């Protein structure tokens, strides 16, 4: 073998070692794989929320993988069940970061579980992308590792209060989950009411993962409110509505998006007609959004058992945006290059749904719409669509 051949072999070996070192230096990234981690409620009273978020994301990731992946790397999502309990979310996150060595954390479900793992996220300096929560603590002050796709609870509750007041309904009560999620929603309602110099006429609470709503209904019913804004998950909200209906009162019921629209409609059955829910992603069957048409067509083709919902289209959109960020990086995918790529997003359109990130803003979307459950079959009718970008920010 001549010296030229030996030199070429040497260069090839060095290049291989260099490439291997580059992959090894970034957890969760190999020559052919990108490993993502998720902790979500996959069991218990909030299971539908976690399942839908995971399944919507997987629908898109699987399509990307069928088409060659991201610069040749296939995406794999490891989803762990936390039952919507902070202690389990902490244990799952430690496993995902330390044992599974994932590249990024994706699609966590819930405020209390998300808040619980922020110290781990900061310590590992790992991207925490698209959490299913609108709480301000994930948004302000900006955390370099956290990227939010959805609008905030402050923006949702502002839209709900504005809708009610514009319809001359000012006696507004709140039913909320007695934890970080519920208190985030309460804070948003309080801000919106203070802005209009109106008092919240009554408050009632429920413990997370329970349906003990009797005391809350009794307390709120005493004030005969025009409307009740609810900040909890679908089972407790359904139980509360049924309990309130026993009083003979018929206030308007309004929920923020985290409730799980389809699950709530299913839980309520005939009691669901006329219940309002704010939304932070497009109506899945809205032909005015290319991403909705894409999502429903792909589900029909590749996941016929997947029933399109607001929750799983949110997972789909979050997955699509994360993939766009990774594609913009190129082949040199690291946590740092991903963060920089995402911070360069300026009105990035993923199907008539635009997002903007920057070093001083990690909240990509301001989209807030309102829907109402109609009839007894769990169908939805849009009341209004998005507010203009920048509203409430």
How does pLDDT run across 284-293, given as a tens digit for each residue? 988 889 999 9
pLDDT at residue 1, as a whole number: 52
Judge whether 99 lies within some domain: yes
pLDDT at residue 391, as a whole number: 35
pLDDT at residue 108, as a whole number: 98
Range scoring the smallest mean pLDDT among 20-24, 49-53, 66-70, 101-105: 20-24
Distances 354 to 13, 138, 245, 357, 387 between C-alpha atoms, Å: 44, 20, 40, 10, 13
- SS3 (DSSP) at 39: strand
pLDDT at residue 230, as a whole number: 98
Residue with tokens 């005391």: 215
pLDDT at residue 5, as a whole number: 47
For 297-323, the pLDDT digits (tens) are 999 999 999 999 999 999 999 999 999
pLDDT at residue 378, as a whole number: 81
Q: Please check whether residues 238 and 379 belong to one and the same domain.
A: yes
CB atoms near residue 79 (< 10 Å): 21
Looking at residues 43-72, what average pLDDT do you find?
Answer: 97
Residue 389 confidence class, pLDDT cut points 50, 70, 90: very low
Does residue 382 or residue 328 have the better pLDDT? Answer: 328
Judge whether 5 lies within some domain: no
Question: Which domain range does residue 48 map to?
Answer: 12-151+286-362
Q: Is the pLDDT of residue 21 over 70?
A: no
pLDDT at residue 376, as a whole number: 81
pLDDT at residue 2, as a whole number: 54
Helices (H), 178-228: 180-195, 214-221
CB burial of residue 122 (10 Å; 0-12, 13-18, 19+): middle
| Predicted TM-score of the model (pTM) | 0.91
Looking at residues 359-384, what average pLDDT do you find?
Answer: 92
Q: Please check whether residues 102 and 244 belong to one and the same domain.
A: no
Choose among 77, 139, 86, 84: nearest CA to 107.
Answer: 77
Q: How many domains does the chain have?
A: 2
Judge whether 1 lies within some domain: no
Q: Please check whether residues 249 and 308 belong to one and the same domain.
A: no
Range scoring the smallest mean pLDDT among 1-10, 13-22, 203-212: 13-22
Q: Please check whether residues 346 and 226 belong to one and the same domain.
A: no
Does residue 13 or residue 229 have the better pLDDT? Answer: 229
Q: Please check whether residues 206 and 161 belong to one and the same domain.
A: yes
Mean per-residue pLDDT over the chain, rounded: 92
């Amino acid at each position: 073998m001549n010296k030229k051949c030996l030199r070429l072999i040497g260069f090839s070996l060095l290049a291989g070692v260099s490439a291997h070192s580059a992959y090894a230096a970034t957890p969760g990234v190999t020559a052919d794989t990108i490993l993502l981690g998720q902790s979500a409620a996959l069991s218990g009273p909030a299971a539908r929320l976690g399942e839908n978020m995971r399944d919507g994301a997987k629908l898109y990731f699987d399509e990307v993988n069928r088409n060659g992946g991201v610069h040749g790397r296939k995406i794999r999502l490891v989803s762990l069940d936390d039952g919507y309990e902070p202690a389990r979310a902490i244990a799952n996150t430690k496993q995902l970061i330390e044992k599974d060595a994932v590249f990024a954390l994706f699609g966590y479900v819930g405020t209390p579980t998300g808040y619980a793992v922020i110290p781990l996220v900061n310590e590992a300096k790992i991207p925490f992308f698209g959490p299913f929560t609108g709480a301000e603590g994930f948004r302000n002050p900006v955390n370099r590792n956290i990227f939010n796709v959805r609008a905030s609870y402050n923006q949702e509750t502002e839209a709900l209060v504005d809708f009610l007041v514009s319809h001359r309904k000012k006696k507004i009560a709140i039913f909320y989950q007695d934890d970080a999620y519920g208190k985030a929603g309460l804070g948003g309602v309080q801000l919106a009411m203070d802005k209009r110099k109106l008092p919240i006429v009554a408050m009632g609470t429920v413990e997370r993962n329970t349906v003990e709503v009797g005391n809350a209904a009794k307390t709120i019913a005493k004030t005969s409110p025009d409307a009740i804004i609810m900040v909890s998950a679908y089972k407790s909200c359904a139980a509360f509505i049924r309990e309130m209906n026993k009083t003979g009162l018929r206030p308007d019921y309004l929920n923020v998006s985290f409730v799980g629209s389809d699950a709530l409609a299913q839980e309520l059955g005939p009691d669901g007609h006329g219940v309002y829910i704010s939304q932070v992603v497009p109506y899945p069957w809205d032909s005015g959004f290319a991403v909705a048409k894409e999502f429903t067509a792909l589900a029909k083709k590749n996941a016929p058992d997947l029933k399109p919902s607001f929750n799983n289209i949110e997972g789909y959109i979050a997955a699509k945006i994360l993939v766009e960020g990774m594609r913009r990086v190129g082949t040199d995918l690291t946590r740092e290059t991903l963060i920089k790529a995402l911070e360069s997003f300026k009105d990035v359109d993923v199907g008539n749904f635009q997002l903007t990130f920057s070093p001083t803003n990690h909240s990509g979307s301001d989209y807030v719409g309102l829907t109402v459950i109609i009839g007894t079959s769990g169908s939805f009718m849009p009341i209004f669509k998005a507010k203009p970008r920048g509203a409430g920010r």
